[in-house]
Structures are given as structure tokens and as C-alpha cells.
Structure 1
Amino acid sequence: MRQTLEQWLDYIGGLHPITWDLTLDRVSEVAQRLGVVKPARQVVLVAGTNGKGSCCEALADLATSAGGSFGVT
């Protein structure tokens, strides 16, 4: 039996009528169930072509002098 494109799309669309929850709430629930430790409250991302090492070193000095901690990965 030959179907039109519209009929075929309706058929395919009806195979899995479940909608997926792709929000961050779902990710948070999975992390909680796995016992994942929450990351640090303050994160600084340094990106670019040049100067990342110098910038990270300066940020580490600032954080340390303010009594904070600093990690570079």
C-alpha cells in the first residue's frame, strides 16, 4: 500500500508519543540520585588563544590573597 508523505509522517510521529523532559531539573535529579557532589559556587572560565596561563596565574594570586582557594585544570 502506497502512503502519502503526510500519512507516513503521522505514522512515524505516533510511534513514540512520549515527550521527553530535557530540562535542567531532570539533570539535577539524575545528579542527586548518583550522589554527584555539587561543583564550586564560583567558577571562572578562561578561554582564548593567548594569555590563558598568565591570566590563570593572576587569578590564583588574587584568590589566594583574598583567602580563597583556586584550582586550575
Structure 2
Amino acid sequence: MTAIEERLPPLKPHPEEKTLRDQVRGILREALEGPGLTEESKDRLRRLIAEHPDRPEAAFVEHLRSLRLAESDGELLAG
């Protein structure tokens, strides 16, 4: 576990909560645990989550924007 990961809020939603925020936390968790992103992209995503601990949706939107920018520059960061 990296120093950034240690500072991250828990991304797993409570079973009784099904808000959009909880769903975004689940998406972020899956992105970090899955094989679809490079380690560089996962590190960037962890930093965004740490910057927005109470607003995972903001981290998610910024992450998607960075992927779009990278794709328009000819890079592919997501599988």
C-alpha cells in the first residue's frame, strides 16, 4: 500500500447506502483494483481521490477528463 492509498477514504459503500456517491466510490474501487488502467493512471486516480475525499464524483470526473485529454494527444491510458 502506498502513502497515498493510506490517506484515502474507504471506497467501499455501506450495504444499506445506494446513493450516486456510493456508486461512484464502487466504480473508483473497481478501477483501482482492476487491470484496465496503467499504474501511472491508478496513481493519478489515487491522488484525485485524496484531493476530493468527500466528493468522489469530482475525482471521477477529473479522472475521465485526464483520460480524454490523453486520448486526444494520441495516448491510451485505459484498456
TM bucket by the smaller chain? Answer: 0.3 to 0.5
Considering only CA atoms, is the larger Rg found in Structure 1 or Structure 2?
A: 1
Higher helix share: 2
Structure of greater relative contact order (alpha carbons < 8 Å, 6+ residues apart) = 2
Normalized against structure 1, the TM-score is what? 0.35
Normalized against structure 2, the TM-score is what? 0.33
